[in-house]
Amino acid sequence: MIKRRGSKPVRIGTVVVGGGAPVVVQSMTNTDTRDVGATVAQIKRLDEQGCEIVRVAVPDMEAARAIPAIKKAINIPLVADVHFDYRLALTAIAGGVDALRLNPGNIQDHQQVRAVVSASKEREIPIRIGVNAGSLPPNLAGQEPSGKPQGVSERMVQAALGHIRLLEDMDFDLIKVSLKAFDVPTTIAAYQRMAELVSYPFHLGITEAGTPRAGSIRSAVGIGTLLHMGLGDTIRVSLTGDPVEEVITAYEILKALNLREHGPVMISCPTCGRTEIDLVGLALAVEKRLEGIDKPIKVAVMGCVVNGPGEAREADVGIAGGKGRGVIFRKGEIVRTVPESELYPALLAEIDKLLAETS
Amino acid sequence: MIKRRGSKPVRIGTVVVGGGAPVVVQSMTNTDTRDVGATVAQIKRLDEQGCEIVRVAVPDMEAARAIPAIKKAINIPLVADVHFDYRLALTAIAGGVDALRLNPGNIQDHQQVRAVVSASKEREIPIRIGVNAGSLPPNLAGQEPSGKPQGVSERMVQAALGHIRLLEDMDFDLIKVSLKAFDVPTTIAAYQRMAELVSYPFHLGITEAGTPRAGSIRSAVGIGTLLHMGLGDTIRVSLTGDPVEEVITAYEILKALNLREHGPVMISCPTCGRTEIDLVGLALAVEKRLEGIDKPIKVAVMGCVVNGPGEAREADVGIAGGKGRGVIFRKGEIVRTVPESELYPALLAEIDKLLAETS
């Protein structure tokens, strides 16, 4: 149902971003990049969870020099996050990174930018221009030509356009763009505006969104709204915590919009004064049981027999609890009735059967 | 930045829904409604968390008769959720409920509907028509006049319109509407369509969204996208679990869109290979410390001194950690530098100062 914006595809290692490719999930390590062992271990955990591109900070030369060892030990494309110092970018490129995040306008010397662009072009390494609301360059004084104060989103767009032009002037177009703010409506407005101006693919994110609890909700609202508008080719959820949480949240956002499948989906009712079985306990047990499963099966755990099967018609398999008993249903049709004590094992048996059938 | 849809206001007890009023947060108990003690205790916990309207299921006459005792013991408006049996609705109204959720088209006898409408009109009790994707009436055969199969969202809209007309024909217009599905794009399409057809206020929700982990993300995507479009006057997040989680999630959605203030907001960076302090631990400690605070202060916990204060300019107060030290900043300006060991107490002291100033 979502009509996605047409964007120019770029290739980051083996992964295509933009041009109608499925929305790509990425994350960033929070280990010390110089600690190759810790960084690789974290990337492997991210990879297992479905992370498709990973970024590492490259704050100094020692971090840049760690890249070949990291790259060699991992199986997903690696992006180097570089600020200000072009030598870090050159070392990262030589070290085998698949893409850069770098704002060329922040490098004072254009010859230095040219050196990075030239190396990127030679190896076909895309550059993400990543403008964040809080670090807008001071030369964007916040005035529109009319003299009216310029909104933050417009200043973000102008800052990004400045960086984009620098690259385009050097005949470089392997560009991705991000425009992140903590403020969700500002972020949305910036991407909407940019979509009118360029065709480069968008990397979406809400910056400094917070801890997993609040930050995942904030990210889901911002990224979800943009994706529903058809904007966004890759997403990174930023959370203060284990980056694995970022990947889990990213997939939940994409699954909510039917943009990606990623393991099981569970449909479960909030329970109410009508519920006559321990539905919350059952739902949590089923959620736990589904954790290891890769297939995109839909399982429903519903509180009442009257509405349960109907409400969860799109589920492959489900249970609906009644008074001391419950029904097993598939695709909205009741297949059998079991006593409450047998609901959980009966559902697990149905799930196993379903998995066997679809394998 | 969000331009909200104009809607006809209705009053539920002391709370106005629609007509430009702030978006109202509601939830539903999952206790046995007949157990007055347990239901009241849960409603009090919901109220403490900021729940502004609460709904209880009324599946039988004993539950309907519990309403006066519940109503007497709580301080927020009470909604009775009634299906099929008009006598439950009449008993709930007589018992003092502030609103009903009831689909009049599901009551076969129009004289019975008339009795409910008449009692509701007399006491000025609004009725929410709540259509869920999974329980569409069988007479909506899924065919458009053209013969093309009709989409689920359009069938939901048609079902709701049928219920609305029944009430309107009885000269009743204290109506709220909800159109919930588990599928987010379907839900969004239904509300968008309905917004073109009626001016009644909207109650938003994603039905059977799942456990708190996945369900809160799914709800944030669906409800957040609709709110950003300007649709929605009250929201209920449906989660399989403690309904207090629904209220917390609802406010995080509203705060993300600047539609409501509700306690502190924390801006915290995801940390990266540049971070040289235990930022995750610090952020979680600060989040914990902020839990008891009602005021809508903004606190930032940032990993690096270079970007931290700039990125978190909108924060009232914040810290940014560097190598073994950190800075305290207010509104983006650094006010002092402290050793790492003193960061947490120094931030708490600043928060206390801020709270004292704003009280």
pLDDT in tens, B252-289: 999 999 999 999 999 999 888 888 888 888 899 999 99
**pLDDT value of residue A259:** 98
* Of B130, B129, B132, B149, the residue nearest B141 (C-alpha): B149
Res A355 pLDDT > 80: yes
> Locate tokens 């002391």: which residue?
B14
Establish if A32 touches chain B: CB-CB under 8 angstroms. Answer: yes
Res A150 pLDDT > 80: no
CA B11 to chain A, closest CA, distance in angstroms equals 24
- Tell me the per-residue pLDDT of A169-182, one tens digit each, with 9 for 90 and over: 999 999 999 999 99
A30 backbone dihedrals φ, ψ, rounded to 5°:
-120, 20
Helix, strand, coil content of chain A in percent (nearest 5): 40, 20, 40
The segment with the largest mean pLDDT, out of A301-305, A313-317, B6-10, is: B6-10
Residue A294 and residue A303: Cα distance in Å, rounded?
26
Cβ contact (<8 Å) for B273 and A33?
yes
Res A306 pLDDT > 80: no
Residue B320 and residue B309: Cα distance in Å, rounded?
7
Cβ contact (<8 Å) for B134 and A311?
yes
Taking only residues 266 to 295 of chain A, the set having a beta carbon closer than 8 angstroms to any beta carbon of chain B reads 266-275, 279-280, 283-284, 287
Cβ contact (<8 Å) for A218 and B252?
yes
**pLDDT value of residue A146:** 56
Tell me the average pLDDT of chain A: 92
User: Per the structure block, which two tokens stand in for A151?
Assistant: 């909104």
Q: What is the mean pLDDT of residues A93-105?
A: 96
A329 backbone dihedrals φ, ψ, rounded to 5°:
-135, 155
Res A142 pLDDT > 60: no
**pLDDT value of residue B148:** 57
> pLDDT exceeding 70 applies to what percent of chain B?
96
User: Per the structure block, which two tokens stand in for A88?
Assistant: 């870090």
- Tell me the per-residue pLDDT of B202-245, one tens digit each, with 9 for 90 and over: 999 999 999 999 999 999 999 999 999 999 999 999 999 999 99
pTM recorded for the entire structure: 0.95
Neighbour tally for A314: CB within 10 Å: 19
A29 to chain B: which residues are within 8 Å by CB?
A: 272-273
B312 to chain A: which residues are within 8 Å by CB?
A: 134, 182, 208
Cβ contact (<8 Å) for A30 and B280?
yes
* Of A178, A25, A21, the residue nearest A100 (C-alpha): A178
Query: In 3-state terms, what secondary structure has residue B267?
Result: strand
**pLDDT value of residue A183:** 94
| Among the partner residues B186, B207, B240, nearest to A280 by beta-carbon distance | B240
**pLDDT value of residue B321:** 85
B32 to chain A: which residues are within 8 Å by CB?
A: 273
Establish if B182 touches chain A: CB-CB under 8 angstroms. Answer: yes
**pLDDT value of residue B105:** 87
CA B176 to chain centre: 15
Q: What is the mean pLDDT of residues B76-96?
A: 97
Cβ contact (<8 Å) for A240 and B31?
no
**pLDDT value of residue A139:** 58
Res B141 pLDDT > 60: no
Which of the four pLDDT bands, split at 50, 70 and 90, describes residue B331? Answer: confident
Identify the residue with better confidence: B45 or A141: B45
Q: What is the mean pLDDT of residues B128-150?
A: 71
Res B314 pLDDT > 90: no
| Among the partner residues B227, B253, B302, nearest to A217 by beta-carbon distance | B253
Establish if B81 touches chain A: CB-CB under 8 angstroms. Answer: yes
Lowest mean pLDDT among A28-32, B67-71, B352-356: B352-356
**pLDDT value of residue B138:** 64
Please state the domain extents for chain B.
10-256, 265-358
User: Per the structure block, which two tokens stand in for B178?
Assistant: 């909800």
Query: In 3-state terms, what secondary structure has residue A106?
Result: helix
Res A143 pLDDT > 60: no
Contact B133, B205 (CB under 8 A): no
Specify the DSSP element, H or E, that contains A26.
strand A24-28
Residue B214 and residue B76: Cα distance in Å, rounded?
29
Q: What is the mean pLDDT of residues A5-14?
A: 98
Neighbour tally for B60: CB within 10 Å: 14
Tell me the average pLDDT of chain B: 92
**pLDDT value of residue A332:** 81
| Among the partner residues A134, A211, A216, nearest to B310 by beta-carbon distance | A134
> Locate tokens 């020692």: which residue?
A62
B313 to chain A: which residues are within 8 Å by CB?
A: 134
* Of B193, B260, B197, the residue nearest B229 (C-alpha): B193
Residue A301 and residue B42: Cα distance in Å, rounded?
23
**pLDDT value of residue A140:** 60
> Locate tokens 């290891």: which residue?
A292
Report the topology of domain A265-358: Sulfite Reductase Hemoprotein; domain 1 (3.30.413)
Residue A63 and residue A51: Cα distance in Å, rounded?
22
Residue B320 and residue A35: Cα distance in Å, rounded?
23
Which of the four pLDDT bands, split at 50, 70 and 90, describes residue B27? Answer: very high
Tell how strand A298-302 and strand A265-268 pair up: parallel
Residue A356 and residue A60: Cα distance in Å, rounded?
51
User: Per the structure block, which two tokens stand in for B265?
Assistant: 């907001």
- Tell me the per-residue pLDDT of A220-265, one tens digit each, with 9 for 90 and over: 999 999 999 999 999 999 999 999 999 999 999 999 999 999 999 9
Strands of the sheet with A127-132, listed across from one edge: A175-180, A127-132, A99-101, A78-81, A53-57, A24-28, A234-236, A203-204
Which of the four pLDDT bands, split at 50, 70 and 90, describes residue B50? Answer: very high
Res B108 pLDDT > 90: no
Q: What is the mean pLDDT of residues A313-342?
A: 87
**pLDDT value of residue B73:** 98
Contact A314, A298 (CB under 8 A): yes
Residue B159 and residue A226: Cα distance in Å, rounded?
30
Establish if A314 touches chain B: CB-CB under 8 angstroms. Answer: yes
Lowest mean pLDDT among A35-44, A272-281, A293-302: A272-281
> pLDDT exceeding 90 applies to what percent of chain B?
77
Interface mutation vs chain A, best among B32, B227, B246, B267, most A CBs within 10 Å: B267
Q: How far separated are the first and last CA of chain B, in Å rounded?
A: 28
CATH class of B10-256: alpha beta
Residue B71 and residue B111: Cα distance in Å, rounded?
28
Q: What are the b/e assignments for A12-46, b being 16+ CB within 10 Å?
A: bbebbbbeebebbbbbbbbbbbbbbeebbebbbeb
Which of the four pLDDT bands, split at 50, 70 and 90, describes residue A147? Answer: low
User: Per the structure block, which two tokens stand in for B50?
Assistant: 């900021």
Neighbour tally for B173: CB within 10 Å: 16
Q: Would B10-256 and B265-358 be classified into the same CATH topology? A: no
Residue A210 and residue A182: Cα distance in Å, rounded?
9
The number of C-alpha atoms within 13 Å of B62 and in the hemisphere containing its C-beta is 7
B212 to chain A: which residues are within 8 Å by CB?
A: none
Q: What angle do CA B88, B93, B94 make, to 5 degrees?
A: 100
Residue B92 and residue A181: Cα distance in Å, rounded?
47
Establish if A7 touches chain B: CB-CB under 8 angstroms. Answer: no
Interface mutation vs chain A, best among B58, B81, B217, most A CBs within 10 Å: B217
Res A149 pLDDT > 70: no
Q: What is the mean pLDDT of residues A156-180?
A: 97
Lowest mean pLDDT among A307-321, B183-197, B332-346: A307-321
Query: In 3-state terms, what secondary structure has residue B2?
Result: coil
Residues facing residue A17 across a β-bridge: A10
Q: What is the mean pLDDT of residues B119-148?
A: 79
Residue A98 and residue A181: Cα distance in Å, rounded?
26
Lowest mean pLDDT among A21-30, A174-183, A339-348: A339-348
DSSP strands (E only) in chain B: 10-12, 15-17, 24-28, 53-57, 78-81, 99-101, 127-132, 175-180, 203-204, 234-236, 265-268, 298-302, 317-321, 325-330, 333-339
Lowest mean pLDDT among A134-143, B6-15, B93-102, B329-338: A134-143
**pLDDT value of residue B145:** 54
Residues facing residue A131 across a β-bridge: A179
User: Per the structure block, which two tokens stand in for B301?
Assistant: 């916990």
Establish if B252 touches chain A: CB-CB under 8 angstroms. Answer: yes
Identify the residue with better confidence: A277 or B75: B75
A313 to chain B: which residues are within 8 Å by CB?
A: 134
Which of the four pLDDT bands, split at 50, 70 and 90, describes residue B193? Answer: very high
User: Using CA of residue B331, residue B336, residue B341, residue B342, what is the dihedral sign?
Assistant: negative
Alpha helices in chain A (DSSP H): 36-48, 61-65, 67-73, 86-94, 110-123, 152-169, 184-197, 212-228, 243-256, 279-290, 308-311, 343-358
A160 backbone dihedrals φ, ψ, rounded to 5°:
-65, -40
CA A151 to chain B, closest CA, distance in angstroms equals 11
Interface mutation vs chain A, best among B235, B272, B275, B290, most A CBs within 10 Å: B272
Cβ contact (<8 Å) for A211 and B287?
yes
Residues facing residue A265 across a β-bridge: A298
A248 to chain B: which residues are within 8 Å by CB?
A: 213
Residue B2 and residue B225: Cα distance in Å, rounded?
11
